[in-house]
Structure 1
Amino acid sequence: MTTLAAAHADTGDTAWLLAATALVLLMTPGLALFYGGMVRTKSVLNMLMMSFVSIALVTVVWLAAGYSLAFGDDIGGGLIGGLKHVGMAGLGPDSVQGTVPTLLFATFQLTFAIITAALISGAVADRVKFAAWLVFVPVWALLVYVPVTHWVWGPGGWIAHRLGALDFAGGLPVEITSGASGLALCLVLGPRLGFKKDAMRPHNLPMVMLGAGLLWFGWFGFNAGSALGAGGLAAAAFLNTLAAGCTGLLGWLFVEQKRDGHPTTLGAASGAVAGLVAITPSCGSVSLLGALVVGLAAGVVCSYAVSWKFKLNYDDSLDVVGVHLVGGIIGTLLIGVFAEKAMTGSTEGLLYGGGLGQLGKQLVAVVVVAAYAFLVTYGIGKLIDKAMGFRASEDQEHRGLDLTVHAETAYDHGVLGHGAPVSSSVLSPAQKVKSQA
């Protein structure tokens, strides 16, 4: 993300970033619908809740200390920021970050932190204790997301300022951390009941498509907003985002047609998201040609990567590893191939005569961030599991988390309409009235 020196906020840049911030926040409800449609009817509401509660949890943590640690002046050799702005201290309405108000910049960055935490939930859908998730999200945000964000975008962060790796809008702190963390939690929790035996098809594909559409819409704020200004760089990132989403979608459908004999709506949604994931780190570094290739590569590779879980026996419920980790790696590495001086101002990739140097820097950043996120998340998961149990009980998982945890069902004709009678102790007041009518 770029910042320009300026004494006063620019109204045009501020207006654009206000809109971009709202767009990125909308991505989390979009993700909730995307994930909610992909699970079975008995856990739809739980899936929605895991995303929505992340908005509240991460916001509190970010305002209390996260922003200061991520974007405060470096105090740890490029590893972490200071505590000068704990509780957003010293950041009034007249404080400026580049050409936008600092409070707006902090809010924009907050929306990134929110969706990154929510993304992880897709890897462990159908089997997480909701209470454990409430503990995990704020701890993870502080110990994983915040440090990596400082490395990549913070003042003096070692990845940007010492290593020299590029990441325009979040391949490292968003996509790779969520994917690697999702993999770690998959290993902590183990597979769902019936994994590789029972059919676990998406229960509502129109919901999936709606969620994917909202994600795509919000992604324009995610990527183009990362220019932090309403100018040519934002326009280029905007177009690159659209282009990569399209080629990602087409690449995934091509693989499905060739491999399975039919293109699917789930494939179209997943392919678009894969292309958008991959272009996130590179949208401000590559030309339109590069964006088309990045999206296509992600659509093709990720369509194969989602099946790795069956071979390697990790239950990534909604393909967070196959799409976000793999797609994030693809987009981050291809900066070293397709980066153009016209976009970056100085750095050129291998294809444009820049040699292998930048590709090597991107590779180091990918390996370090993925390893850090995986190891710390695995440790957090194990500690929570020992302290309070991270996985829902077998009975809760079998009957569905909606009914057993939230005392609700998404559809009247769903869980409550079939099977054994439901005890009144798990019904909401409204459902009790309905059952007595």
Structure 2
Amino acid sequence: MAPAITLAADAPTLSSANTGFMLICSALVMLMTPGLAFFYGGMVRVKSTLNMLMMSFISLGIVTVLWVLYGFSLAFGADSGSLIGWNSDWVGLSNIGLTQLWDGYTIPVFVFCVFQLMFAIITPALISGALADRVKFSAWALFITLWVTIVYFPVAHWVWGSGGWAFELGVIDFAGGTAVHINAGAAALGVILVIGRRVGFKKDPMRPHSLPLVMLGAGLLWFGWFGFNAGSWLGNDDGVGALMFVNTQVATAAAMLAWLAYEKIRHGAFTTLGAASGAVAGLVAITPSGGAVSPLGAIAVGAIAGVLCAMAVGLKYRFNYDDSLDVVGVHLVGGVAGSLLIGFFATGKGQSDAQGLFYGGGLDQFWKQCAGVFAVLGYSLVASAVLAFLLDRTIGMRVPEDDEVSGIDSAEHAETAYDFSGAGGGAARTTAAPAPAPVAGTAAKKVDA
């Protein structure tokens, strides 16, 4: 994703094919955020469905505006100390020519900008799955604003920005294993350690209310992920994007099968939730590694990630932290696995000539991957926990316990996802006196019964 260094004689010209391809990829990545909303929305109880959807959708609004104002400049502007970028000409996306090319590539700056915007949008949305049922919507919106500014924009520069320390070190992250998934997973862990567990954690049934909605969301994520991954080569001229496309499909399939096999051995059943979760685990793991490994390597990456993530989701019960929808178990663990496995399975024939241990490269690339992985993990974990602590001590992060029990949808949004009474409309759109108990709470009891 970072700009290449070219000689004047080799200066590229605008390619309408690559430009069109990248605009389509940008649209696919945008679709992933609504897909994530459905994926998460189906996994929560009825009384939290709308809140879960809104926690993803609000990121589309907040991050877009911040990206235009200063985010793009911070992430991809001229390097300062290998830690952050800045370009005053990009503030407000001003002084960018319509046909001005992204340095070293055949696509306009505007195209690169909007593609990267979609990554910035979905990353904080990923965090929301760990916080289901219990966070004030206003506090969540403010957290997104602060988090992308303090955590995501700098980390994106480290990993993809020209001059960023991880980029210069040679850390491989094709499409976001560190900058997106480890970043979001570590942030989720940091926040939930501060705000605590849901009421009834490990006591009350907290089953997904709509597995068909989960499967729909997983399907949209899988579909959009081809743009997420293949588009990250910023063109379609040399076959690397095609390799990434193939590896995305292969690793996702392998991870889904591995998760289901583990689930059958461990729990005695093949579940739809396991299939959806396994697919997402494979998508996460191949995101950093797919441009460096072969299709056979992609099978290995997917299968390993599928089993590791399936094992990891149960750790929250052992260690008593409430990762509501397994963001830590899938995105953090899957991102770490996919990033580190590059050090073993990189062939040297894909995006670069870096070779892993199994292809004669020794452990050099593995140690580089470790540096990137654990630096991003540590920074995001600590910074996110500090942000959550400050917000919790000032405006408060959690809704009142009564609102959490009765239903966060009614309390925060004055609506319910499903109208079981037949009256129609949300609470905010009716003149009738409110019922003694919120509809969402009643619905949740029926579903959990």
- TM > 0.5: yes
Structure 2 distance, partners of 1:374, 1:257, is 33
Cα RMSD for the two superposed structures:
1.6
Question: Is residue 2:380 matched to residue 1:373?
Answer: yes
Partner of 2:47: 42
For 1:279-428, list aligned pairs within 5 A: 279-413=286-420, 427-428=427-428
C-alpha distance 9-399 of structure 1, shift in aligned 2 (>3 A)? same
* Partner AA of 2:134 in structure 1: R
Instruction: Determine the structure 1 residue equivalent to 2:195.
Output: 189
| TM-superposition CA deviations, 1:107-144 (whole Å, max 9, x none) | 00000010001000001111000010110001100100
Q: Deviations over 1:53-99 (max 9, x none)?
A: 11000001111111001000102x21000142211122121211111
Deviations 1:303-342 (A, max 9, x none): 0100000011110000000000000000000111111111
Q: Which moved more, 1:82-91 or 1:261-270?
A: 82-91
Q: Match of 1:37, as an amino acid? A: G
Amino acid of the structure 1 residue aligned with 2:199 = L
User: 1:290-311: CA deviations, max 9, x gaps?
Assistant: 1110011111110010000001
Over 2 Å off, 4+ runs? 1-8, 430-435
Q: Distance in 2 between matches of 1:2 and 1:386?
A: 39
Native 8 Å contact 2:427 2:434 kept in 1: no
Instruction: Look up the equivalent residue of 2:50 and give its one-letter code.
Output: L
For residue 75 of structure 2, what is the aligned residue in structure 1? 70
What SS is found at the alignment partner of 1:344?
coil
User: Whole-Å Cα distance in 1 between the matches of residues 54 and 431 of structure 2?
Assistant: 19
AA of the residue aligned to 1:408: E
Asked if 1:33 is matched to 2:38, the reply is yes
Mean CA deviation greater in 232-241 or 339-348: 339-348
How many aligned residue pairs are there?
424
1:108 corresponds in structure 2 to 115
The AA in structure 2 aligned to 1:275 is: G
* Aligned-partner SS, 1:334: helix
Identity %: 56
**2:398 aligned counterpart, secondary structure:** coil
Q: Which residue of 2 aligns with 1:93?
A: 98
Aligned partner of residue 343 in structure 1, secondary structure? coil
CA contact (8 A) 1:2 1:226 kept: no
The letter for the 1-side match of 2:206 is M
Q: Is the 8 A contact 1:2 1:228 kept in 2?
A: no
User: Which residue in the other structure is 2:225 paired with?
Assistant: 219
1:261 corresponds, among 261, 265, 268, to 268
Aligned partners of 1:196, 1:88: CA distance in 2, in Å? 48
8 Å CA contact retained: 1:181, 1:378: yes
Partner in structure 1 of residue 83 of structure 2: 79
Quote how far apart the aligned CAs of 1:160 are.
Answer: 1.1
Matched AA of 2:193: L
1:179 aligns with 2:185: yes
Matched residue, 2:240: 233
Contact 2:2 2:162 in 1 (8 A): no
> 1:434 & 1:229 partners in 2: Cα distance?
55
For 1:78, the aligned partner's letter is S
> Residue type of the partner of 2:85?
G
The verdict on how the C-alpha distance between 1:324 and 1:431 changes in structure 2, with shifts beyond 3 A counting, is farther
Calculate the TM-score normalised by the size of structure 2: 0.92
Amino acid at match of 1:227: W
User: Match for 2:381: what amino acid?
Assistant: F
Tell me the equivalent position of 1:139.
Answer: 146
Shift in CA distance, 17/295, structure 1 to aligned 2, threshold 3 Å: same
Contact 1:274 1:298 in 2 (8 A): yes
Secondary structure, counterpart of 1:64 in structure 2: helix
Q: 5+ unaligned residues in a row in structure 2: which ranges?
A: 436-449
Structure 2 counterpart SS, 1:202:
coil
Deviation at 1:284, TM superposition (A): 0.8
Q: Is the 8 A contact 2:343 2:356 kept in 1?
A: yes
Alpha-carbon distance in 2 for matches of 1:344, 1:407? 50
Superposed displacement of residue 430, structure 1: 3.8
Query: Given the two structures, how large is their TM-score scaled by the length of structure 1?
Result: 0.95
The reply to whether residue 274 of structure 1 matches residue 281 of structure 2 is: yes
Q: Whole-Å Cα distance in 1 between the matches of residues 266 and 34 of structure 2?
A: 32
For residue 26 of structure 2, what is the aligned residue in structure 1? 21
Residue identity in the other structure for 2:350? M
Tell me: CA distance 1:122–1:65, structure 2 relative to 1, closer, same or farther (3 Å).
same
**Are 1:56 and 2:46 an aligned pair?**
no
Gaps of 5+ in 1: 418-423
1:434 deviation in Å? Answer: 11
Shift of 1:431: 7.0
8 Å contact 1:23–1:218 — kept in the other structure?
yes
Question: SS where residue 349 of structure 2 aligns?
Answer: helix
Q: Give the aligned residue type for 2:429.
A: P
In structure 1, what residue type is equivalent to 2:397? F
Please give the secondary structure, in 2, of the residue aligned with 1:74. strand
Matched letter for residue 17 of structure 1: M
Question: What are the superposed Cα offsets for residues 370-424 of structure 1, whole Å, 9 maximum, x if unpaired?
Answer: 00000000111111111100011101101111111111111112xx69xxxxxx9
| Counterpart check, 1:209 vs 2:191 | no
Find the residue that maps to 1:81 and give its secondary structure.
strand
Aligned partners of 1:2 and 1:227 also within 8 Å: no
Hey, what does 2:156 align to over in structure 1? 149
Say if 1:431 and 1:39 are closer, same or farther in 2 by CA, change over 3 A. Answer: farther
